[in-house]
Amino acid sequence: MNFQDVYTLQQALDVAPPPRLNTAQDRAEHAERQRGLLVAQEDERVMAEWRQRHPEDVAYEQGYWARRREEDTQRRRETRLDRRRRKALANAKTDLVAAGGRSFFTKNYDRWLDIWLSTLDDTAEDDNGDDDDSDLE
């Protein structure tokens, strides 16, 4: 605080506003946060101890998640390939119609909408199509 007539710390403390009062609610919230922090720290300690005592469980879990990532990657790859095939088929059918051929799309043909599907998968131009997520680990 900038007062012209204050020269000592005691004088500054005398003119400064009083500190914020801690209410019972403030103390209760602080105590609750402290308990939550202690629980989290103890949980981390126990998990580290468990990992040291049971490395086979850790290896199994890591293997499980690696298999899941591979299955998800394969599923995404197959879905993307199927979507591209359906769009190529729909485009080929519209090319036939544009070239004077007869359309074999009926009014209720559910694959007609496949021509409008996006085949973009947000990959980089230098992407080789391999969806290996190993660089995310």
Question: Could you say which DSSP state residue 129 is in?
Answer: S
Quote the distance between the C-alpha of residue 75 and its chain's center: 19
Q: Which tokens in the block code for residue 57?
A: 């469980």
Q: Which tokens in the block code for residue 88?
A: 């190529």
Please give the pLDDT value at position 27.
86
Cβ atoms of residues 24 and 35 within 8 Å? no
pLDDT above 60 (res 18): yes
* CB atoms near residue 132 (< 10 Å): 10
Across 1-22, average pLDDT:
79
Q: How far apart are alpha carbons 31 and 25 in whole angstroms?
A: 10
Q: How far apart are alpha carbons 90 and 79 in whole angstroms?
A: 17
Average pLDDT, the chain: 80
* Closest to 115 measured CA to CA, from 137, 92, 82, 81: 92
Domain ranges of the chain: 23-53
62-99: pLDDT as tens digits: 999 999 999 999 999 999 999 999 898 888 878 777 77
Whole-structure pTM value:
0.42
